[in-house]
Amino acid sequence: MEGFCLPPELYTQKSILRQIFMVIKVSYVLLFITCLQLQARTYSQTITMNTKQTSLERVFQAVEQQTGYVILYNYKELQRAKPVTISASNQEITKFLDRLFADQPFTYNIEDKTILVSGGKRVKPKWAKPTVRISPPVEAKQAPLTGSVKDAGGAPIEGVTVTVNGTTTATKTGSDGRYHIDAPPSDGTLVFSMLGYNTVEQTIGNRQTIDIVMIPSVSDLEEVIVVGYGTAQKRDLTGAVARVNLDQNRQQPNINPVQNLRGTVAGVNITDNGRPGSDGTIRIRGANSISASNDPLIVLDGIIYAGGSLSDINSTDIESIDILKDASASAIYGSLAANGVILITTKKGTTEKPRIALNSYVGFSDFAHIPKYLDAEKYLQVRKDAEIADGGAIPFNPLEQANIEAGRTIDPFEEIRQNSPIHSNELSVSGKSKAFTYYLSGAYSGVKSPVMGDNFSRLGARVNLNVKVTDWLSIGTNSGYTAKDNSGVRADLAMTTFLSPYADLYYEDGVPRPLPMNVGQVRSPILNALLSDNLDKTNTLFSNNYLDVKLPLEGLTFRLNTGYTQRNKKVFDYKPTFNRGEFFNLGSGKQAYTESRNLTVENILRYDRTFAEDHAFNLTLMYGAYKSADNKAELSSDNIFNDALGYNALEIGENFNINTDAGEDQQVSTMGRAGYRYKGKYIVDATIRRDGFSAFGKGRKYGLFPSAGVSWVLSEEDFLAGNSYINSLKVRLSWGRNGNRGVSRYSSLSSVAQTNYVFGNGAAPSVGLYTNSMGNPNLGWETTTSTNFGVDFELFSNRVNGSVELYHSNTYNLLLRQRIPNMSGFTTFLRNIGETENRGFEVTLNTVNVQKGSFSWDTRVAFSLNRNKILKLTGNDLDGDGVEDDDIASGWFIGYPLASNFDYVFDGIYQEGDDDFSLLPGSKPGDVKFRDINGDGKITTADRSVVSNSQPNFLAGITNTFSYGQFSLMVMFNIRQGGESANQAINIGRNFYYESNTLDVPYWTAENPINDYPAINYGNPLNYGFYQSRSFVRLQDVSLSYNFSSSLLEKIRIQNLRLFVSGKNLATWTNWTGWDPEFGGGGRGPGGTNNSNGPILKSYTFGLNFQL
Amino acid sequence: MKAITKIIMSLAAVVLFNGCSSSFLDEIPLDRFSPENFLVDEAGFEAATVALYQAAREEHSTGGANFDYMNLGTDLIEWGRYDSRGFKDYHLLTSQEDAVNKYWSWAYEDMIRQCNLILDKLNDPAIELNEDARHRFEAQAKFFRGYTYNILATLYGGVPIVTEVISEPKFDFQRASKEEVLQFVRQDLEEAGALLPVVGNVSDGRIYKAAAYHTLSEVYLSLGLETNDASYYDLAIDAASKVINKEVGDYRIMTERFGDLARPGDVFSDLFQTDQRSRESGNMEVIWSWQFESFTLGGGTSLNAKGNNSPRLWFPQWEKIRSPNGAFNLSTDSMLRGIGVNSLLNYVKYDIWRLDPNDMRNSPNNIRRVYYYNNPDDPEYFGKPMKTALNNKGEKVLVKNDGSLSDVVLDTLMQYYPWIRKVDGIPFEDNVVAGQSENDFIKMRLAETYLLRAEAYFRKGNLGEAAADINVLRNRAHATPIAPQDVTVDFILDERARELIAEEPRRRTLSRMGLLYERVKKYNPSSGPTVQPHNELWPIPQSVIDANTGAEMIQNPGYN
């Protein structure tokens, strides 16, 4: 806690506080004198009641007392009942009930002395008055009917109302999800309804067991969404907030929860980098920032998950994922939220009976998409053509020559392959008692990529506990511990692409050859993977502990929230002695330890009340502080003469090297949010937050981030009442501003790096110090302002629902790492400058296409389109043309998107017979022809222009789910349209084409005079980028599941058993010839930091969910 | 309850008052220095100077995929491989060429910035340093600054002169004229020369007076050519003479064998033994060398294997040759693996030795022209010399033991050409395959000082003195002396090739004399057809022109 301080003012202002407190106390007394009069009269058909702000449940009790009627209702559903204010004197019961239910999201039926309250379908009483049905006389009695109701993940759903359609026969499912109905009519239909789920109808027929799966109605406005420092009903939101449909993904073996987001949420673009256990890249509504971070903030169980990655979280522990997309929604997180916020809530205990659940699957993976390099036959052909192009013999390397003679070939990508199993076992126990809820889980999962040495396994445990200490105090924890293991040296993918089909990877005795092609630049991709010993383990503890206090003022609560993340990473490496022919080295090794700690403390005061029936008011105040600190120590030595002890005895080597690092940064935040709701129709929200961050320059550390939003639920208005097509309709408008602090610590300071030199022979190393960055004491916040307009709708009895979002955002004072003339000593300078704009359009659409008997077909579409543009840069107009200058060196062009490709314009290929090479002297047939844009008769740097950009035109995810009886089939396509990236591997000639494998692309020859690819030995004098579209369509997820019927399971006392098979990334259609079009590596290596990307995995899994 | 309420309310009040003392957000780096807190005393300045030596050695790994761009595409060597890199095709020398960028950024980012930082801070009166230390640091920083600008002026012509620490971005750099740059270099080096110490008995890789005067003599030569003012040649002669006459330290042309006499060799090969490149070993010729040291922190460059990369670049890819029975040659401790990129031209292989084939520098101790099969898997040929002949297609093939021609065609560009033995050395960190040695790289040697003075005498028209200086080297090499009337600029270049191959940056020598185009055209069959007169200078890197938005940075003529 050192470093966290309480403001000194707090102590001096104690007396003021006490006064405030007194005032509040008095107000409390005045405000909360409610009068509740219930006059009881036995067995009356009329009711007399006078009540204000009373719970519906208490009204029901009173009705039962007065009339002797029995009211059947679902306690859970009743949670969403509105407080009742009603006054009646000897009113007839149906009239009274009509009035009572007019304002409630329920409907009722009366049969004999029973009033059945149901709320499965949101019926608007104003336009569709509940009908009082009289059931037909019950015919011949049938055998009892039983069954169970579960969610898509196989968890039983408690409290589902099961009604025989057209009758009053009704029951509810228990905590095990089971129900029982005596004597249903065989020609009847069962209706299963539950708030938050789509209603399901099933014809009874001769069946004695009917098990169903209920699908949550995602866009249901009653859904409770996590919004940051609290929750809200979706109907009350003013900003763009999306909930991830996890049920759809539960059948997918997503060891990493990031996969749940891939292609499923409009406006959220996940770029898988193919590495098991890696988060890939997450972009919400495109990239705002040019040089600062574009990563969204992750909030786990209400507290900033600083220092943690999504891959630390076990997928099945997650209850919900909500995404704050626009500034008004995310401004509550101020400086951290410029790139959106991902809010993850883990599971809690929900049933009194303990639930034990097992989720288990096994499978294997393969490459989903790898670049196509030459096979043996084409390789020989290319070599022949290269000889023609170069006008002379090009002898093969000795190893190749021998293999050609012997007819031995390899497939390089097969050579780096390893067995690639996937396994995951997750066990959880959860439950609750009056004062205690618990969720405990443990999981062990592992994935091996087919790329040798690329392994990931994770052992995780979670404890979520909540204890209600008294009726005003509860404490709890949401804590997880994860041990990740990435041990193994991954095969070198770039080197793999250099291998020809005639390369020789092993000596006769099976030892890998260091140079499998006799070419120094083509090293063995697998030597280190096979011989080196690597340990890479990360242990993460995330502990969120909170204390909730109900203050003595109704609706006022206080929460003290603390989050602590500690991450310890160990990377040990040992490269053993190698001694074979000309190759010799003694062992060398390394041990590196990193520890990072993040501490967050937040004080949250919340006030939430409804006054005078129609006025709902909420207020949230937060004060918090964050601190993160890292330490790193690295030890290494080489010339280790004996490998037996590996990296555990580095001291027996020579040339010891020590490197230690440390750093810390801090942030303080104050936040206030207020919301007001009138009649649930008009909603206004406002937030203001002030953040201070240590990495900015003196006097620039603080930023202020306001936001506001309004929404209007049109369907609550009279003019839409009675409209039978529109079930609900809401429009939203919001505005907000937030900041980006995504710069690393000490960014404002100029830094000094260390080096060494040895003077003389046998001397000790001398230490050298040099500056390696230009400090900027004026470094401050990058700020984004955005406006969002959204429409949420539910149409045709909720057969169609979804939302449409339109947004516009401006980011200014961009944190730009600008290219500067390096005569100053540095290539780049981080500064606040310029402005960018993002406009976009997102559609989320869920439709129930067919629902007939036990067959249903649902479709979900997530479509997003983002247009990005640079509006302003330095503001300089040095060429005096009245237009602000572009920054060519940095690759920024006013009016063009970020990530623009600035280059010469490809204009075909010089052909035989072309003899005018004056445009670019030195050209010859087979070379690329460039367009002379300024028409000066030669190709100069002035002929460069923005030729394309790498951002997609649009992204779309389409999911279809088909259910028939116990079977369910889900098929999901992920689509990217547009965006070009450089794929320089297309230019074979640039990279010693004559003694290595090359990309299998066409090339110009005199016999095959094509006009779109240059000759094989084209030298590319102008470094042209060779751009290619990264559009793709990917069959991303397919899963087929079978739910065992409950009658069968009952006998063996199992609540749920479900089997599934699923496939991931099964097919990819694209014209991109590089690495995966999703991340777009266009070189020899797959791209990413240090070529860390890998082929995206195609996987097949088989699994089961099991619940006791 | 009341007490608890109070506590809670106090906590809640924290929400309302954001009054945390501001020191919470102050930043003090924990693990790194800032320029302000390390350049405060002698130790700090020493560390800054050490970084400068390391940066200077980085020139060795500068330029594209660390190829030898200071020699490729000159009159000495051609690109030995099939593709068109290495200035085999001069059309690829554009403002986007990697090497063009790398040299420029090495000069400004690694060298000049650090020199300016040291010089700037030395002017800070608040810093307490004794006079001696102040002079020591100033002299080294000025030497390296002048040394770097001289390289820039030779490669690129006039470049922007930056003399101070730049603490905020500047976009309006302007090119000074080449003469202005050379005058600036001259001033720095003259001041450095005055302040630098005289060398002692050890070679530690540091800069001493002689290095400044050696470089100055070259700079005066450039100024003479640039201004047509012959008085600069006198200055060049004076500067070189200071070194030659031992006014600035005891340097001697080695005329007798020294070091480990058990080794076969001659005095010229003795100069280049890995362990005989220092004064302690008796080698009094070396003025400055980059230091390499296996298995030691700071012992190498930022290259992959970090050693002296010369063997890799200069040696043919000899391991690709197989015996008539199919056994491939092996790289060994004495035959480090070359990749055949610096392929010797006939000019070096034959032409320059015609004058006197018995020149010591052409002896088998210094140029390996006969190779031996060294793969014991083939006992028939193991240890036997390779014999070659031309087959009926005109290809050079290996001759079998029985005298018949084999079908092994030798690639004389990449695999089979003479081996410059001064590059031989002990493999760096035991790695034979990387083709790197632990030899210190000799940057300046007294022999070159003689050749610089000879050039100055020649340009002054004093052919007698020019011949005398050249003959110092020829006599040491037991080669026929040259007569005064035979001294020409071509002869000087021939002599430089004989004496300094694989040491001098030939491109800069030719560019300095304005002879690159002419000599490449004449001697280099692969680069000759594409070289153009404007290639005498490199283009200004396009990325620099693009970034310099505040003023036009004029490109060198001939480049787009």
d(C-alpha B154, C-alpha B508), whole Å: 6
Lowest mean pLDDT among A363-377, A874-888, B136-150, B159-173: A874-888
Q: Quickly count helices (H) and strands (E) in chain A.
A: 12, 56
Cβ contact A988:A1003 at 8 Å: yes
pLDDT tens digits for A7-24? 333 333 444 444 444 433
Higher pLDDT, A416 or A750: A416
**Average pLDDT along chain A:** 82
pTM of the model: 0.80
Give the residue from A823, A826, A828, A996 with the most B CB atoms within 10 Å of its CB, the best one to mutate: A823
Instruction: Judge whether residue A363 has pLDDT over 70.
Output: yes
Q: What is the ipTM of this complex?
A: 0.93
Taking the C-alpha atoms of residue A263 and residue A272, their distance in angstroms, rounded to an integer, is 11
Segment (H or E) for A102: helix A93-102
Question: How sure is the predictor about A307, in pLDDT bands with cuts at 50, 70 and 90?
Answer: low
CA of B430 vs chain A CAs: smallest distance (Å): 6
* Residue A33 in this model has a pLDDT that exceeds 70: no
How far B291 CA lies from chain A's nearest CA (Å)? 7
Cross-chain residue pair B291–A755, CB shorter than 8 Å: no
Determine the residue of chain B that is closest to A764 in CA distance.
Answer: B296
| DSSP conformation class of A761 | T
Q: Which of B278, B298, B549 lies nearest to residue A766, judging by beta carbons?
A: B298
Q: For residue B83, what are its two tokens?
A: 């593709």
Window from A251-255, A666-670, B367-371 with minimum mean pLDDT: A251-255
Question: How many C-beta atoms lie closer than 10 Å to residue A641's C-beta?
Answer: 10
| Tokens linked to B46 | 């020493």
The verdict on a CB contact (< 8 Å) between A759 and B547 is: no
Q: Do B34 and A819 touch (CB under 8 A)?
A: no
Tell me which residue of A362, A349, A352, A353 sits closest to A441, measured CA to CA. Answer: A349
Residue A142: pLDDT band (50, 70, 90) is: low
Please, what's the largest Cα pairwise distance for chain B? Answer: 113
Segment A466-482 shows an average pLDDT of: 92
Q: What is the pLDDT of residue B254?
A: 96
**Sign of the alpha-carbon dihedral angle for B457, B461, B462, B464:** positive
* Contacts with A692 from chain B: Cβ below 8 Å: 25
Question: Distance between CA atoms of A510 and A508, rounded to whole angstroms?
Answer: 6
SS3 at position A681: coil
Whether chain A has a CB inside 8 Å of the CB on B16: the answer is yes
What is the distance between the alpha carbons of residues A505 and A453, in angstroms, rounded to a whole number?
A: 17
Judging contacts by C-beta atoms under 8 Å, the chain B residues touching residue A755 are: 50-51, 54, 298
Q: Does B164 touch chain A (CB under 8 A)?
A: no
Backbone angles phi, psi at A398, to 5 degrees: -55, -45
Q: Do the Cβ atoms of A705 and A685 come closer than 8 Å? A: no
Give dist(CA B417, CA B435) in Å, integer: 17
Q: What DSSP string runs through B489-553? A: HHHHHHHHHHHHTTTS-HHHHHHHHT-HHHHHHHH-TTTTTT--GGGGSPPPPHHHHHH-TTS--
More confident residue, A1081 or B289: B289
Q: Kindly indicate the confidence band of residue A545, based on its pLDDT and cuts at 50, 70 and 90.
A: very high
Question: Does residue A320 contact residue A777 with C-beta atoms inside 8 Å?
Answer: no
How many angstroms away from the CA of A406 is the closest CA of chain B? 14
Q: Of A126-140, A479-493, B6-20, B211-225, where does mean pLDDT reach its minimum?
A: A126-140
Per the CB < 8 A criterion, the answer to whether B285 and B445 are in contact is yes
State which H helix or E strand residue B227 sits in.
helix B209-227
* pLDDT greater at residue A593 or residue A1049: A593
Residue A130 pLDDT greater than 60, yes or no:
no
- Closest Cβ–Cβ partner in A582, A757, A994 for B433: A582
CA quadruple B99, B105, B107, B111: dihedral positive or negative? negative
Angle at A815 between CA A597 and CA A789, to 5 degrees: 95
Query: Tokens 């002395």 appear where?
Result: A113
Rounded Cα gap, residues A950 and A982, in angstroms: 9
Task: Report d(CA B105, CA B86) in Å as an integer.
Answer: 19
Which of residues A300 and A991 earns the better pLDDT score?
A: A300
Answer whether A975's CB lies under 8 Å from A1033's CB.
Answer: yes
Query: Which B positions 470-529 lie with beta carbon below 8 A of chain A?
Result: none
In this structure, are residues A884 and A873 in contact, taking their beta carbons and an 8 Å threshold?
yes
Token pair belonging to A1093: 């990307």
For residue A921, which residues of chain B lie inside 8 Å, CB to CB?
91
User: Shortest CB distance from A584 goes to which of B44, B411, B430?
Assistant: B430
- Residue A147: what pLDDT? 84
Q: Are A545 and A479 a contacting pair, CB within 8 Å? A: yes
- Contact of B122 with B115, CB cutoff 8 Å: no
Which residues of chain B does A385 touch, with a Cβ-Cβ cutoff of 8 Å?
A: none
Residues 6+ apart with CB under 8 A from A540: A308, A312, A480, A481, A482, A484, A565, A566, A567, A568
Written as six digits, the tokens of A858 are 């649902």
Q: What is the pLDDT at residue A271?
A: 77
On whether the CB atoms of residues B218 and B287 are closer than 8 A, the answer is no
CA distances from B129 to A752, B47, B52, B206 (A): 21, 15, 20, 21
State how far the Cα of A868 lies from the Cα of A339, in Å rounded to an integer. 14
Residue A195: per-residue pLDDT: 67
- Distance (Å, whole) CA B202 – CA A964: 89
Report whether B413 contacts B343 (CB < 8 A): yes
Mean pLDDT: which of A164-168, A285-289, A621-625, B52-56 is highest?
B52-56
Q: What is the DSSP string of B44-90?
A: HHHHHHHHHHHHHHGGGG-STTT--TTTTTSSSEEE-SSSSTTTTSG
Separation of alpha carbons B559 and A361, rounded Å: 63
Q: What is the per-residue pLDDT across A239-250, written as a single tens digit (0 to 9) for each?
A: 788 887 776 666
* Adjacent-strand bridge partners of A847: A800, A859
Report CA torsion sign: A228, A234, A237, A241.
positive
B203 at A interface, C-beta within 8 A: yes
Report the pLDDT averaged over residues A183-204: 76
Per-residue pLDDT of chain B (560 residues; tens, 9 = 90+): 455 445 444 444 444 444 444 577 887 777 777 777 888 899 999 999 999 999 999 998 875 456 899 999 999 999 988 777 889 889 889 998 889 999 999 999 999 999 999 999 998 888 889 999 999 999 999 999 999 999 999 999 999 999 999 988 899 999 999 999 999 999 999 999 999 999 998 888 999 999 999 999 999 999 999 999 999 999 999 999 999 999 999 999 999 999 999 999 999 999 999 999 999 999 999 999 999 999 888 999 887 778 999 999 999 998 889 899 988 888 887 888 898 999 999 999 999 999 999 999 999 999 999 999 999 989 999 999 999 999 998 889 999 999 999 988 898 998 999 999 999 999 998 888 888 999 999 999 999 999 999 999 999 999 999 999 999 999 999 999 999 999 999 999 999 999 999 999 999 999 999 999 999 999 999 999 999 999 999 999 999 999 998 888 999 999 97
Compute the count of residue pairs across chains A and B with CB atoms less than 8 Å apart.
349
**What confidence score (pLDDT) does residue A196 get?**
65
- pLDDT for residue A44: 54
Asked if pLDDT for residue A538 goes beyond 70, the answer is yes
Residue identified by tokens 């193919």 is A274
Cα dihedral A933, A939, A944, A947 sign: positive
Say which residue, A72 or A720, is predicted with more confidence.
Answer: A720
Out of A757, A761, A878, the one facing B50 most closely (by C-beta) is: A757
What is residue A287's predicted lDDT score, i.e. its pLDDT? 65
Does the pLDDT of residue A61 top 50, yes or no?
A: yes
Torsion angles phi and psi, residue B464, rounded to 5: -60, -50
Nearest to B305 by CA among A585, A1084, A636, A765: A585
Q: Is residue A322 predicted with pLDDT exceeding 70?
A: yes
- State the average pLDDT over residues A268-273: 78
- Band (pLDDT 50/70/90 cuts) for residue A211 is confident
Q: Which residues touch B412 (CB under 8 Å, ≥6 apart)?
A: B396
Radius of gyration of chain B (CA): 27
**Selection from A195-209, A763-777, B444-458 with the highest mean pLDDT:** B444-458
CA distances from B356 to A823, B365, B366 (A): 48, 16, 15
- Cα first-last separation, chain B: 83
- The confidence band for A140, taking pLDDT boundaries of 50, 70 and 90, is very low
Contact predicate A88/A682, CB 8 Å:
no
**Which two tokens mark A326?**
């626009």
On the question of pLDDT at A677 being above 80, the answer is yes
**Ranges A227-236, A249-258, A328-337, A452-461: which has the least confidence:** A249-258
Q: Is B375 on the interface with A (CB under 8 A)?
A: no
Pairing of strands A297-300, A341-346: parallel
- DSSP state letters, A1051-1102: HTT-SEEEEEEEEEEEEEEE---SS-TTT---SSS--SGGG---PPEEEEEE
Q: Which residue of B has its CA nearest to A922?
A: B91
Residues 6+ apart with CB under 8 A from A327: A239, A337, A707, A734, A735, A736, A737, A738, A784, A785, A786, A788, A809
B169–A820 C-beta distance less than 8 A:
yes
| Facing residue for B25 by CB, picked from A514, A694, A827 | A694
Q: For testing the chain A interface, which of B27, B120, B377, B555 should be mutated: the one with the most A CBs within 10 Å?
A: B27
